[in-house]
């Protein structure tokens, strides 16, 4: 059974347009560099009920199908950060201060005090409040944060997991990369995916559908894709038609696709390899 990767992006600022989401393209990039791909993505605002429902679906997918999901945002300790609490509720677990997270947060506070030339006061109210950033669902594992030591966390469900990282890209992206390399290196397939396509003019998708079905039926392990465009800056109205999948299967299916296209009176543009 193949592992499906998912992404959850949490925050009103994304849905309101105050901030543009950068996590989706980066997740695709991080996975693609390892021969993996993103299966789905969800966006949700800072509403605890919606976050809990979204995370409950993610944990169900992890438990039932072995999905691996990254959740970005909302793990801080301000009033609009609800992700840690919602994760615990979705799992039916209590929230506890993770001992390793507690030690790392103390280290961070000591570093900040030293940088500011101030004494370290662990019992000061604001420092005690910062420990809330290490309060995770019972049984969670930490994700190291190379930027400021404040960790994220992972919750495992069945064969899958949901991995929680901050919303800040400078923190989230190296943490996601660490998770992929630390826990899923056995899934990396850097040479196991290929994509070949051709730009064609003067056709409609409906006319090409029988050929697409024919190629998929004759070549297991490939998917045929069709990407139409009506206003491309270089090619104008066109269709990019291609196959993707395991390299060996793609190398067999693509010539068959080209041969099938030659049955039609079409104008061909460049061929693309990814």
pLDDT band (50, 70, 90) for residue 274: confident
Q: Residue 45, exposed/middle/buried by CB under 10 A (0-12, 13-18, 19+)?
A: middle
pLDDT band (50, 70, 90) for residue 94: very high
Q: Work out the average pLDDT over 56-77.
A: 97
pLDDT band (50, 70, 90) for residue 191: low
pLDDT tens column, 141-187: 999 999 999 999 999 999 999 999 999 999 999 999 999 999 999 99
Q: Is the pLDDT of residue 41 over 90?
A: yes
Q: What is the pLDDT of residue 73?
A: 97
| 6 Cβ contact partners less than 8 Å away, ≥ 6 residues apart | 38, 39, 40, 41, 42, 58, 61, 67, 68, 69, 70
* 78 secondary structure, DSSP code: S
Q: What is the pLDDT of residue 2?
A: 81
Q: Model's pTM, two decimal places?
A: 0.84
pLDDT tens column, 127-144: 899 999 999 999 999 999
Q: Is the pLDDT of residue 213 over 80?
A: yes
User: Token match 């790392």: residue?
Assistant: 104
Q: Are 12 and 80 in contact (CB under 8 A)?
A: yes
Q: Three-state SS for 71?
A: strand
Residue ranges of alpha helices (H) inside the chain are 12-15, 23-32, 48-65, 83-91, 99-115, 125-130, 169-183, 205-218, 247-261
pLDDT tens column, 7-32: 999 999 999 999 999 999 999 999 99
Fold of 194-273: Alpha-Beta Plaits (3.30.70)
Fold of 5-187: Molybdenum Cofactor Biosythetic Enzyme; Chain A (3.40.980)
pLDDT tens column, 259-273: 999 999 899 999 998
Q: What is the pLDDT of residue 196?
A: 96
Q: What is the pLDDT of residue 1?
A: 61
**Domain locations in the chain?**
5-187, 194-273
* 134 secondary structure, DSSP code: G
Which among 117, 272, 100, 119 is positioned nearest to 199, based on CA atoms?
272
Q: Three-state SS for 34?
A: coil
- Return mean pLDDT, the chain: 94
CA distance 230 to 238: 7
Residue ranges of alpha helices (H) inside 116-261 are 125-130, 169-183, 205-218, 247-261
């Amino acid at each position: 059974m193949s592992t499906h990767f998912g992404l959850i992006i949490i925050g009103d600022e994304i849905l309101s347009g105050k901030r543009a989401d950068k996590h989706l393209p980066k997740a695709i990039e991080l996975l693609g560099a390892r021969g993996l791909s993103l299966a789905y993505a969800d966006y949700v605002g800072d509403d605890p009920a919606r976050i809990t429902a979204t995370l409950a679906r993610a944990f169900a997918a992890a438990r039932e199908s072995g999905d691996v999901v990254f959740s970005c945002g909302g793990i801080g300790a301000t009033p609009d950060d609800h992700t840690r609490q919602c994760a615990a509720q979705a799992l039916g677990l209590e929230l506890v201060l993770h001992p390793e997270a507690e030690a790392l947060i103390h280290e961070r506070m000591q570093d900040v005090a030293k940088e500011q030339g101030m004494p370290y006061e662990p019992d000061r109210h604001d420092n005690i409040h910062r420990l809330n950033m290490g309060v995770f669902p019972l049984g969670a594992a930490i994700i190291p944060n190379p930027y400021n030591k404040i960790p994220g966390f992972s919750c495992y469900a069945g064969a899958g997991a949901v991995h929680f990282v901050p919303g800040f890209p400078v923190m989230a992206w190296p943490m996601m990369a660490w998770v992929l390399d630390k826990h899923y290196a056995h899934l990396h397939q850097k040479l196991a995916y290929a994509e070949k396509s051709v730009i064609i003019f003067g056709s409609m998708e409906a006319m090409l559908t029988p050929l697409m079905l024919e190629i998929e039926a004759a070549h297991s392990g490939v998917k045929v894709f069709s990407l139409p465009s009506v206003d491309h800056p270089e090619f104008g109205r066109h269709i990019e038609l291609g196959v993707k999948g395991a390299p060996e299967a793609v190398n067999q299916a693509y010539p068959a696709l080209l041969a099938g296209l030659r049955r039609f009176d079409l104008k061909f543009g460049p061929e693309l390899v990814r």
